[in-house]
Chains A and B, each alone.
Chain A
Amino acid sequence: MAALAVVALLALVYWVAKPPNETVTVLPSADGHIGTVVVQRGNEKQVLNQPYATTRNGDAVQVLAATDVKETFGSTIQALPARPTIFLLYFTTGTDELTEESKGDLQRILDELKQRPVPDVYVIGHTDTVGELRGNDQLSAQRADTVKGFLVGIGIPAERIQTAGRGKREPIVPTGDNVDEPKNRRVEINVR
């Protein structure tokens, strides 16, 4: 009887002190790139570097079915915030007027931004290399402010939007000075 009590007590101690189960699974990323997770448990190391590669309690790597991963982690993955992203809008020479093409893109971008509950936005204006540094600094800041106006217009609080004008300092297409390059006349909308 006493022996039974000891066994029961030991079982209880084991149950209380038993280390939790731990599962780690690598997911295929949205851009198709697969990185690596190295799981170290004591002196054991497992390297996970293919989609759905999984280690449980440091055991040898196995590849799970996507449906099993979804069943266990679906609600957790669902709770991930929207990915930070960058949108680009282009302008006509020397103005803060959008090009016809960007006017078409604007509504789609604004619709995407409306999906984000509390976006943090950083709007950066740029120019091509035509003209003086100072005039381009002003123009780039003006372009950023114009875009900020669109964002405030769809209800994003102004205090969540930062703006900057980088003038002709950061062309996306490298050119010499005084080159009329449409791709450089742009505003980047960084959203987090």
Chain B
Amino acid sequence: MRWIVAAVLFGFACAAAAEAGQVKTAAGSVYLERSGKRLPVSVGMPVEQSDTLVTGADGSAGITFTDNSLLSVGPNSVLEIQKYVFDTTTHAGQFDASLKKGTLAVISGKMVKQSPEAMRVRTPSSIMGVRGTEFVVKVD
């Protein structure tokens, strides 16, 4: 009985993993790491909080998030979506992304318009606060 309850609860937890965004562009070798699994990336695929996007030497990918933030990575990149929460009614939210290596382009979205502290991008040594802008980051 306890196992059934646990299984049902786990099922709900999985179903509750809200879609943070969607892969809109993908070229070359790209995959997503989710819960220790490697998933091949295709255009239209949902992206969730805690996913890590990895590209190979010929890879690139772009994601549109539900608050209209846009992110893309170039070749040899590792980007973790550490946290993504967005309230479509109030536009409040929190977006933490971490570029471990490679290149990243960012166009901030609605949650940053609503609250300038909402989005943070980390690299191994720095943390970036974003106030309504477009920027690029490289870690090499």
Q: A residues engaging B (CB < 8 A)? A: 19-30, 33-42, 48, 57-58, 69, 72-73, 75-84, 116-118, 120, 192
Contacts and interface: CB of A to CB of B under 8 A. Distances in A.
A25 B135 contact: yes
Range of interface residues on B (Cβ < 8 Å) = 35 or more
A23 B137 contact: yes
Contacts of B125: 19-20, 22, 41-42, 57-58
B126 A40 contact: yes
Contact of A76 (B68, B73, B101): B73
A55 B91 CA distance: 30
The B interface, classified by DSSP as helix, strand, loop or mixed, is strand
Nearest to A33: B132
A23 B136 CA distance: 8
Contacts, number: 144
B3 to A, nearest CB: 35
A33 B138 CA distance: 23
B140 A21 contact: yes
Given A35-B130, A35-B132, A79 B62 contact: yes
Nearest to B26: A79
A42 B136 CA distance: 20
B105 to A, nearest CB: 5
Nearest to B60: A79
Nearest to A118: B44
Contacts of B63: 81
B135 A22 contact: no
Contacts of A58: 125-126
Contacts of A82: 24
B82 interface: no
A73 B138 contact: yes
A27 B22 contact: no
A73 B99 CA distance: 15
A76 B74 contact: yes
A152 B70 CA distance: 26
